[in-house]
Amino acid sequence: MTTDAGLPAVRESLQLALLAEPAGGDLVDELAEAAVDHYALYYSCHPVSVLFQEVRAMRALLAGALSPGGGRTATQRQVGRLSALLGNAAFQLEDFAGARAHLGTAATYADRCGDAALATWAYGALSMVARSTGNLSAALTYAERGAAAAPGGLVRAQLHALALLPTLAQQGQDREATAALEEALRELEADPLGEAPGRFGFDAAELSLHRAEAYLALGRTDKARSQAESSAAACTTGTPGWAAATLVLAQAEASDQPSDAAQRGLDVLDRMRAQPPALHPHPAQAPGRTPRDPARRRRCRPSRPPPRSAPAGRRLRRRLRVRRPSSRLPLRL
């Protein structure tokens, strides 16, 4: 499916349904759900800016079927999910204020329609956006809201791994971060499936990535390296999931292997430039699945810059200077 033809075709299907049911109805709700599932599953198949415009147009269409007092519960749920995807895309486009607005809308609609999983995801994403801008206090508040809303199993594991664990680690709260990790591991093990695909999904490879990031924040570079290697090994080389894990690995190596770390960064830049945007990051995942820290907007920069005398370090610095912000790796919320 191509971006030029495939994305508009999804929107046009909903337009046709709205001609038949202008005020909404079962057909509109069914097609809206299918459209959002498509965007979530194939998110990484399209340029983020293009996908943002398409999801925005879809949400505007669906908003027309809402009444001033709310509307059908199923319709509100899809408006919330579309808002969550817009928040994800806005973060990747480095519109942090926009990301907060869209994710806040997602949380509001999730609460109104009783979708605990969506509310958990939205609060977790808001936590990551706050963390990425250095507001760790707000990040913890959002993470705790998400934990309060989270049902058991995969959703709860995801919230603890991508919101509570890294926030507590960055605050230096070692004991609390360890407790969040243990909760994530318990919930992941207890879930009957153990993974879910798509932009809203989660699996063991992503948990390993978050563990690596947390260990890095706590200064445990050996453990960070081990978990990053495990996460990268579970992903297909050249995909965003692989890139996220490899860049964390480079950060873990930077203190004692700066040239190797710089070379990893260069390798990521080369492979991500050469690959098409749609690949399978992990064998167990459907197309478009990528690890998700919207705060995971890694810039291929090790935690300690490589020596200026290192050829790989000099090449990496030159490459980073010429990269436009909008072209940074498409790493997920």
Q: 233-243 pLDDT, tens per residue?
A: 998 888 888 88
| Whole-number pLDDT of residue 67 | 83
> Does 280 fall in a domain?
yes
| Structure-model confidence comparison of residues 200 and 288, the more confident one | 200
| Whole-number pLDDT of residue 316 | 54
> Does 193 fall in a domain?
no
> Does 190 fall in a domain?
no
| Whole-number pLDDT of residue 318 | 54
Residue 274 has pLDDT above 60, yes or no: no
| Whole-number pLDDT of residue 310 | 52
Residue 95 has pLDDT above 50, yes or no: yes
Number of alpha carbons in the 13 Å side-chain half-sphere of residue 70: 11
Give Cα separations from 89 to 195, 267, 275, 292, 309 (angstroms): 23, 25, 20, 11, 37
Question: 37: domain range?
Answer: 1-114
> Does 287 fall in a domain?
yes
Banded model confidence at residue 315, pLDDT cuts 50, 70, 90:
low
Distance CA 324, CA 305 (A): 20
| Whole-number pLDDT of residue 311 | 61
Residue 202 has pLDDT above 50, yes or no: yes
> Does 179 fall in a domain?
no
| Whole-number pLDDT of residue 278 | 35
| Whole-number pLDDT of residue 176 | 97
- 8 A C-beta contact, residue 301 and residue 62: no
- Nearest Cα to 124, choosing from 170, 159, 87? 159
Distance CA 184, CA 194 (A): 11
> Does 234 fall in a domain?
yes
Residue 304 has pLDDT above 60, yes or no: no
Q: Which residue reads 């609060």 in tokens? A: 123
Domain edge (last residue) among 114, 134, 157: 114
Domain edge (last residue) among 114, 147, 173: 114
> Does 144 fall in a domain?
no
Banded model confidence at residue 79, pLDDT cuts 50, 70, 90:
very high
Domain edge (last residue) among 93, 114, 135: 114
| Whole-number pLDDT of residue 332 | 45
Residue 268 has pLDDT above 90, yes or no: no
- Nearest Cα to 41, choosing from 245, 204, 226, 285? 285
Distance CA 177, CA 173 (A): 6
pTM to 2 decimal places: 0.82
> Does 207 fall in a domain?
no
Instruction: Give the total number of structural domains in the chain.
Output: 2
Task: Render pLDDT for 143-196 as a digit per residue (tens, 0 to 9).
Answer: 999 999 999 999 999 999 999 999 999 999 999 999 999 999 999 999 999 999
- Paired with 196 in beta bridges are 202
- Nearest Cα to 88, choosing from 105, 72, 75? 105
**Which contacts of 9-17 are long-range, i.e. CB under 8 A and separated by 24 or more positions?**
10/35, 10/38, 10/39, 10/54, 10/58, 11/35, 11/54, 11/57, 11/58, 11/61, 14/58, 14/61, 14/62, 15/61
What mean pLDDT do residues 100-107 have?
A: 98
What mean pLDDT do residues 82-88 have?
A: 97
| Whole-number pLDDT of residue 262 | 86
Q: What is the CATH number of the domain that holds 60?
A: 1.25.40
